Amino acid sequence: MGLGLPAAIYTEVVTLLEDISSGGVVCDTTVDGICVMPQACSSYTSFSSYTFLFNFTSSTANYMRVPLATFATNVKGSGGSA
Protein backbone atom coordinates (compact mmCIF):
# COMPACT_ATOMS: atom_id res chain seq x y z
CA MET A 1 0.00 0.00 0.00
CA GLY A 2 1.36 3.38 -0.92
CA LEU A 3 0.50 6.78 0.43
CA GLY A 4 -0.48 8.21 -2.94
CA LEU A 5 1.08 11.59 -2.22
CA PRO A 6 0.91 14.39 -4.78
CA ALA A 7 4.31 15.15 -6.33
CA ALA A 8 4.93 18.33 -4.31
CA ILE A 9 4.22 16.61 -1.00
CA TYR A 10 6.24 13.54 -2.01
CA THR A 11 9.19 15.89 -2.60
CA GLU A 12 8.74 17.31 0.91
CA VAL A 13 8.65 13.80 2.40
CA VAL A 14 11.82 12.87 0.51
CA THR A 15 13.48 15.97 2.00
CA LEU A 16 12.43 14.86 5.50
CA LEU A 17 13.80 11.36 4.85
CA GLU A 18 17.07 12.88 3.66
CA ASP A 19 17.17 14.78 6.95
CA ILE A 20 16.47 11.67 9.01
CA SER A 21 18.99 9.50 7.15
CA SER A 22 21.71 12.16 6.80
CA GLY A 23 21.36 11.93 3.03
CA GLY A 24 21.42 8.13 2.89
CA VAL A 25 17.89 7.65 1.54
CA VAL A 26 17.43 6.53 -2.06
CA CYS A 27 14.02 7.38 -3.53
CA ASP A 28 12.44 6.27 -6.78
CA THR A 29 10.71 9.17 -8.51
CA THR A 30 8.54 7.07 -10.81
CA VAL A 31 4.83 6.45 -10.22
CA ASP A 32 4.45 4.18 -7.16
CA GLY A 33 8.07 4.91 -6.25
CA ILE A 34 9.47 3.97 -2.87
CA CYS A 35 12.27 5.20 -0.65
CA VAL A 36 14.91 2.89 0.79
CA MET A 37 17.13 3.77 3.72
CA PRO A 38 20.48 2.09 4.37
CA GLN A 39 19.76 0.95 7.95
CA ALA A 40 16.85 -0.68 9.80
CA CYS A 41 13.95 1.66 10.58
CA SER A 42 14.55 1.31 14.31
CA SER A 43 17.95 2.98 13.96
CA TYR A 44 16.31 6.25 12.86
CA THR A 45 15.03 7.76 16.12
CA SER A 46 14.05 10.97 14.31
CA PHE A 47 11.14 9.16 12.68
CA SER A 48 9.03 10.00 15.72
CA SER A 49 9.82 13.71 15.30
CA TYR A 50 7.92 13.96 12.00
CA THR A 51 4.18 13.50 11.59
CA PHE A 52 1.53 13.73 8.92
CA LEU A 53 -1.45 15.85 9.92
CA PHE A 54 -4.72 14.48 8.54
CA ASN A 55 -7.82 16.65 8.56
CA PHE A 56 -11.07 15.19 7.25
CA THR A 57 -13.22 18.25 7.93
CA SER A 58 -13.16 21.96 7.23
CA SER A 59 -12.40 22.63 10.90
CA THR A 60 -8.74 23.18 11.78
CA ALA A 61 -9.52 22.06 15.35
CA ASN A 62 -10.18 18.45 14.30
CA TYR A 63 -7.19 16.57 13.00
CA MET A 64 -5.11 13.47 13.55
CA ARG A 65 -1.31 13.29 13.70
CA VAL A 66 0.30 10.13 12.38
CA PRO A 67 4.05 9.59 12.90
CA LEU A 68 6.07 9.14 9.71
CA ALA A 69 7.41 5.91 11.23
CA THR A 70 3.91 4.41 10.90
CA PHE A 71 4.58 4.02 7.19
CA ALA A 72 8.08 2.57 7.52
CA THR A 73 8.78 -1.15 7.45
CA ASN A 74 11.93 -3.21 7.56
CA VAL A 75 12.35 -5.24 4.38
CA LYS A 76 15.16 -7.70 3.88
CA GLY A 77 17.38 -6.47 1.08
CA SER A 78 20.13 -8.26 -0.75
CA GLY A 79 22.45 -9.56 1.91
CA GLY A 80 20.73 -7.54 4.61
CA SER A 81 18.43 -8.47 7.44
CA ALA A 82 14.85 -7.44 8.05
Query: Residue ranges of the domains in the chain?
Result: 7-71
14-34 per-position pLDDT tens digit: 888 888 888 888 888 777 778
Looking at residue 43, its pLDDT comes to 85
- What span, in angstroms and rounded, lies between the C-alpha atoms of 41 and 35? 12
Q: Which residue has the higher pLDDT, 78 or 12?
A: 12
The β-bridge relationship of strands 35-36 and 26-27 is antiparallel
- The pTM score is 0.65
* Euclidean distance between the first and the last CA atom of the chain, given in angstroms as a whole number: 18
